[in-house]
Chains A and B, each alone.
Chain A
Amino acid sequence: MIWPAYRCELRKLAAQRRSLLGLAACAVAPIALVVTLHVHPPTISDTGAPFFQRYAERSGFAVPLLMLLFASIWLFPLVAALVAGDIVAAEDGNGTLKTILTRSTGRSTVFFAKAAAALTYAVAAVVVMGVVATVAGGLESGFRALPTFTSAVPAGTAAELVAGGLAVYAVALVGVVGIGLLLSTWTRNSAAAVVGTLLAVLLMQLTQILPGLDAPAVQRWMLAPQLQAWQALFRNPIDTGPIVHACAISALYAAVCMVVAWVHFLRRDVAG
């Protein structure tokens, strides 16, 4: 049964400063954004600003989306990598892996409990940011109708779309968690795994501007563009194609990385 091991992993995460700081950053960032928007109110005519920034004064629902736009590239991948890259490697470094592997829980259970905990943490980070940003945005600009790329939607629909956007992004983030877990298991070095995960995401971002690699045929297989797929929800009618594709690509990355990591974890020697 994975449940007891999963509870243990969550308990460890809850007791670690690193994971709490990651969640705190996700809570503080939208508040800082709202304060900035309050000090420097955006204008609709500022065409150089991101779409949802221009409408942040009109609707508080624009704030979580603006936050998602900024954080999707590096903040959330970093927060996800902080835990996914650390969750196996730190146990290797501290020597606690041998402690837990000599109890009555098999290696597969330990591995999948760790994977589930890392995924839970990544989703929790998105939820914390989404909730804080929505509340902070609503308090600043009101829970009003939200302009989208094609029209405006009433507050109720806006709330549903914001939740949907966060959910689509969280699914896309699963691929990043998979990469982090693979590097954590493979490198046995927490810092290398965290930095490596972030680097992998940033390199995939870079391919979007590199001649040859920027072709749609290449980019559709890259994970980084999938982190923006949530924006397809904010068109009327909703374009489900990019969303389904993003979920599939992310699941593919996660599955391949986790299977390789799992097999390696099962067979590897635990020394040190």
Chain B
Amino acid sequence: MSAAATPAVEARGLAKRYGSAVAVDQLDLTVEPGDVYGFLGPNGAGKTTSLRMMLGLIRPTAGRVLIHGIDPMDDPVGSLRGVAGFVEQPTFYPYLSGRANLELLATLDGGCEPRAIDDVLDQVELSDRAGDRVGGYSHGMGQRLGIAAALLRRPRLLLLDEPTTGLDPAGMRDMRALVARLAASGITILLSSHLLGEVEHLCTRVAIVHRGRVRYEGDLPRLPQGRGLYRLVATDPAAAAAMCGRLEGISDVHAHPDAVSFTATPESAGELSLALAAEGIGVQALVPGGTALEQLFFRLTDEDAE
């Protein structure tokens, strides 16, 4: 198999159990070179545990994961060649400066070009504070230093675990812009996140993981042209859901405990409100919004909840 055809990440039957608790359960996924791959799931879905196994930090209970065709359990250093990233939040030595931390990590990588550290610090806009101790950094600066440490390895594959978590709105915007720039430069990115908008904005392919299993893997779902996602709250949810199912132009109807979601054209949504009124069903809210990804995500995760 040629290097170009080898998936960046390939997990098959990957599982991790802690006693009777199942963190990851028969997880299958494939990240192809060039993907910006969203690894989406609610908190506790098994995303971070999966990333740890990909980075060789923890040993799978069953199954295996290959990084560029190499199993981290067989060859931990070789599997991470050209791979960088962080799980949970990037961590550094608080008593060393940002620059000293990067120098230290570069040493563990076998050294780097003299300008490399300045370059990555510039890229993440930390040059001004590079001489300060990391203990004095804000959360956002720590996240950016994490990206800088990853870039120092000149990665082909970047594994990022919720890089915007804990950032303020401006920090989130900057981090997303940075990830978008890196993706545009051709780096394969696996972005673990529980933020639907973030994945929708940045990713081309997505896996939705819930309770340790992949429930969907494929291209980012899109709604057909002219159709939108709606959320309906009515006085009789069951009857409202049945009505949605009967009307033409309305599809993907899903009854949730407190609402009904569906896709429709604006015209169909208007007809629905009239039909509901005619049947004596009160409409408490009929709200357009959401995306196909959101719809899919909630359908897959709510099914389990039910």
Interface residue ranges, A against B (CB under 8 Å): 4-5, 7-8, 11-12, 15-17, 94-96, 98-107, 267, 269-271
**Chain B residues in 8 Å Cβ range of A15:** 93, 95-96, 100
- Asked if B86 is at the interface (CB within 8 A of a chain A CB), the reply is yes
Nearest-CB distance from A93 to chain B (Å)?
10
- Contact indicator A94/B91 (Cβ below 8 Å): yes
Could you say which interface size class chain B belongs to? 20 to 34
A103-B105, A271-B52 given; A98·B57 CB < 8 A: yes
- Contact indicator B58/A270 (Cβ below 8 Å): yes
- Contact indicator B57/A104 (Cβ below 8 Å): no
Interface residue ranges, B against A (CB under 8 Å): 52, 55-59, 76-77, 80-81, 84-96, 100, 104-105, 107-111, 149, 153
Query: What are 13 residue pairs bridging A and B, where the CB atoms are less than 8 Å apart in the complex?
Result: A8-B107, A11-B100, A12-B96, A15-B100, A98-B86, A99-B86, A99-B90, A102-B56, A102-B57, A104-B108, A106-B76, A267-B59, A269-B59
Give the distance in Å from the alpha carbon of A188 to the alpha carbon of B90 in the complex: 19
- Contact indicator B88/A95 (Cβ below 8 Å): yes
**A interface, over-half SS:** helix
- Contact indicator B95/A16 (Cβ below 8 Å): yes
Nearest-CB distance from A106 to chain B (Å)?
5
- Contact indicator A96/B93 (Cβ below 8 Å): yes
Give the distance in Å from the alpha carbon of A102 to the alpha carbon of B76 in the complex: 9
**Chain B residues in 8 Å Cβ range of A269:** 52, 57-59
- Choose among A12, A16, A98 the residue that contacts B104 (Cβ–Cβ < 8 A): A12
- Contact indicator A104/B81 (Cβ below 8 Å): yes
Give the distance in Å from the alpha carbon of A231 to the alpha carbon of B58 in the complex: 48
Give the distance in Å from the alpha carbon of A98 to the alpha carbon of B81 in the complex: 16
B49: nearest chain-A partner, CB-CB: A271
Nearest-CB distance from A258 to chain B (Å)?
20
Give the distance in Å from the alpha carbon of A139 to the alpha carbon of B88 in the complex: 57
**Chain B residues in 8 Å Cβ range of A102:** 55-57, 80, 84-86
A15-B93, A103-B109 given; A271·B81 CB < 8 A: no
6 A-B pairs besides A100-B105, A269-B59, A271-B52 with CB distance below 8 A are A4-B111, A5-B108, A11-B100, A12-B96, A94-B93, A99-B86
Give the distance in Å from the alpha carbon of A12 to the alpha carbon of B103 in the complex: 12
**Chain A residues in 8 Å Cβ range of B77:** 104-106
Give the distance in Å from the alpha carbon of A113 to the alpha carbon of B268 in the complex: 69
B83: nearest chain-A partner, CB-CB: A102
Give the distance in Å from the alpha carbon of A271 to the alpha carbon of B95 in the complex: 22
- Contact indicator A99/B149 (Cβ below 8 Å): yes
Nearest-CB distance from B57 to chain A (Å)?
4
A104-B109, A270-B57 given; A8·B104 CB < 8 A: yes
**Chain A residues in 8 Å Cβ range of B52:** 98, 269-271
- Choose among B81, B96, B108 the residue that contacts A4 (Cβ–Cβ < 8 A): B108
Nearest-CB distance from B203 to chain A (Å)?
22
**Chain B residues in 8 Å Cβ range of A270:** 52, 57-58
- Contact indicator A99/B91 (Cβ below 8 Å): yes
**Chain A residues in 8 Å Cβ range of B90:** 99
Give the distance in Å from the alpha carbon of A94 to the alpha carbon of B91 in the complex: 7
- Contact indicator B92/A7 (Cβ below 8 Å): no
Give the distance in Å from the alpha carbon of A12 to the alpha carbon of B116 in the complex: 22
- Contact indicator A271/B91 (Cβ below 8 Å): no
A104-B77, A104-B80 given; A12·B55 CB < 8 A: no
Give the distance in Å from the alpha carbon of A41 to the alpha carbon of B110 in the complex: 56
Give the distance in Å from the alpha carbon of A196 to the alpha carbon of B81 in the complex: 38
**Chain B residues in 8 Å Cβ range of A101:** 56-57, 76
- Contact indicator A271/B58 (Cβ below 8 Å): yes
Give the distance in Å from the alpha carbon of A96 to the alpha carbon of B92 in the complex: 6
- Contact indicator A11/B104 (Cβ below 8 Å): yes
Give the distance in Å from the alpha carbon of A96 to the alpha carbon of B88 in the complex: 12
A7: nearest chain-B partner, CB-CB: B107
B80: nearest chain-A partner, CB-CB: A102
Give the distance in Å from the alpha carbon of A9 to the alpha carbon of B104 in the complex: 9
- Contact indicator B96/A99 (Cβ below 8 Å): no
A98-B57, A271-B57 given; A104·B110 CB < 8 A: yes
Give the distance in Å from the alpha carbon of A271 to the alpha carbon of B85 in the complex: 15
- Contact indicator A12/B80 (Cβ below 8 Å): no
Nearest-CB distance from B228 to chain A (Å)?
42
Give the distance in Å from the alpha carbon of A100 to the alpha carbon of B149 in the complex: 11
**Chain A residues in 8 Å Cβ range of B59:** 267, 269
